[in-house]
Amino acid sequence: MSNLKIKGNWNVLKGKLKQEYGDLTDDDLTYVEGKEDELLGKLQKKTGETKEALAGKIKKWSDS
């Protein structure tokens, strides 16, 4: 289970993820509050990154 809590403007975070991983689509980045693990699983499949690495990037971007 991830302890990722997405805060801030999700549209800004989506833009940063798309810049980092150019092949992500809006469907890949559909976020529903409380479903962070599901989102990370989708992103992991698409990018090949670990869930921990992805969660770290999202957390860093949402904190800034």
Question: For 8-62, how does the pLDDT look when each residue is reduced to its tens digit (9 = 90+)?
Answer: 788 889 999 999 999 999 989 988 888 889 999 999 999 999 999 999 998 888 8
pTM, full prediction: 0.80
Per-domain residue ranges of the chain: 10-63
**What is the spatial distance between Cα 34 and Cα 50, in angstroms, rounded to a whole number?**
20
Dihedral sign of CA atoms 59, 62, 2, 48 in order: negative
pLDDT at residue 2, rounded to an integer: 57
CA 46 to CA 61: how far, in whole Å? 20
pLDDT for the residue numbered 1: 43
Which residues contact residue 33 at a Cβ distance below 8 angstroms, ignoring those fewer than 6 apart?
6
Measured in whole angstroms, the distance separating CA 40 from the mean position of its chain's CA atoms is 6
